[in-house]
Amino acid sequence: SYPVYNKVLGWFGINSSLAIPANQVEYFSHLQLWFAVAVAATSATAQAFWWRKMDKSIWKKEVLVPMLYSALIAVVLINLFKVYDVALAFLMLAGVYIIFSNLSVLFRIARRNASLSGGAITHIGIGLMLIGILFSAGYSRIVSLNNTGMPISSDFSTEFNRDNLLLFINEPRNMAGYDIEFLGERILSRSGNRYIPKDAITTTSDPYKVVAKTDIVNEGVLSFKKGDTLEVNSENTYYEITLSQNGSVEARLFPRIQMNPSMGMLSSPDIRRGMSKDLYTHVSAPMNREAEPDWKTHEETVRLGQKFFVNDYVAVLEEVKPLRTVQGANLPEDALAVQASIRIEGEHGSYLADPVFLITTSSTNPQIGIIASEINDLGVKLSLASIHPQTNEFTLSISTRQKDWVIIKALEKPWINVLWLGTGVLMVGFCLAMVRRFKS
């Protein structure tokens, strides 16, 4: 490190003030890239020397010929994929050279004894990995560009506003040739690994157990029934995002946010895999649930079975029933509680709100309590404000806010499958070498 260099030079009376450049990631990546080129070229040549005693004619055949073929193929690939950065071009050459050099070694030793081919196969895997790393890292492309012409927020940097996409729930946008749509927050059940809408569950005193508010269906199959208790990892929130083309859903992504007490928000991407490129999507900024939203409230008086509008969605009051327990606690003798069931039809399915109205019948100090029911996906909160037994009507307090949203960033990584192929070839070579070692 530079501080060590400065200290050592100081022992010899040299006043040194070497320092790491401001862009440390680019600086060290550049050094590591050239180091990888040197290691690849050296190991490829060393393999040829290891398996044969060299003279001038053999050196030309085993080293010079693969080197020339590698240079020719590398030039073709460099022009085909427009690899015009000098360092990346040398990395391409080194990757191709280590593959061709070791293919030559592999064909020669496999004819004599196939069990000796582990080292050559391992080096071929390394060459494929270098080429895969070159394309996936050096040629990644941000595809979640903000094409609205407006910044997401003045609180974010210019780069963030440019490279990230704001998605409102159930409002499709265009990205990388797909219609991309945010469908809401999900939580993953421990049993069956099913993604469950957060609005379809009720929390309990145990943070790792929730209760289904309604039947939960996944891909047309009933996963959980109303009233079922489910075990979940409550610290993880998944964001369901669909990628569609020509009206058909091509992929469902579930990037994850984990709230860690010591490390804060941790974001994990989800991947849309393809033959020539992968799409990595992660959450850049989730909606802040702790901040108090700007609610707009009005009241509506309805009867059982009557339809009405909630934030431009059609809703119906299905049922009002008495309760003897509220949130797991028994009610005292002088208390009464009723729960309303209100079904709201969203763009992709229905939601159930279940507000509760409580009243104590004490003659000296009667009290009224209201427990609201919020549906995050639709940006609505409903309360049962009052009951009119004379007319069989119910007054609902309806609060609305801006719909849920999420900010995502998506990167397209070309030919990353070459990296995974190289990893697999590398492991095969290691296994062959280990088997041979154990046998000997």
The DSSP secondary-structure symbol of 214 reads S
Tell me if 411 sits within 8 A of 135, measured CB to CB.
Answer: no
Q: Which pLDDT score is estimated for 16? A: 66
Tokens 């085909």 belong to residue: 80
Contacts of 276 by beta carbon, 8 Å cutoff, 6+ apart: 414, 415, 417
On whether the CB atoms of residues 132 and 92 are closer than 8 A, the answer is no
Residue in this structure with the two tokens 């069931």, named with its chain if needed: 341
CB 67: neighbour CB atoms within 10 A?
A: 20
What residues in the chain have per-residue pLDDT under 70? 1-9, 12, 16-31, 48-62, 114, 292, 327-329, 362-364
Helix (H, G, I), strand (E, B) or coil at 205: coil
d(CA 369, CA 361): 12
The rounded distance, in Å, linking the Cα atoms of 356 and 174 is 41
Selection from 194, 196, 186, 198 nearest residue 255 by Cα: 186
420-to-37, 125, 136, 147, 425 alpha-carbon distances in Å: 20, 9, 11, 33, 9
Q: How far is residue 409 from each of residues 111, 140, 189, 198, 365, measured CA to CA in Å?
A: 50, 13, 26, 23, 56
Helix locations, 113-252, DSSP H: 118-138, 158-163
CB contact set of 283 (below 8 Å; sequence gap of 6+): 239, 255, 256, 257, 267, 406, 407, 408
**Residue 208 and residue 230: Cα distance in Å, rounded?**
8
Contact of 416 with 109, CB cutoff 8 Å? no
CA distances to 208, 305, 359, 384, 395 from 340, rounded to whole Å, are 26, 12, 15, 7, 11
Strand partners, 335: 360
Half-sphere exposure of 396 (CA within 13 A, CB side): 28
CA proximity to 317, closest of 368, 347, 354: 354
How are beta strands 216-218 and 209-212 bridged, if at all? unpaired
With a CB cutoff of 8 Å and minimum separation 6, the contacts of 416 are: 132, 135, 136, 277, 278
- The position carrying tokens 């950065």 is 85
Report which residue type is found at 435.
Answer: V
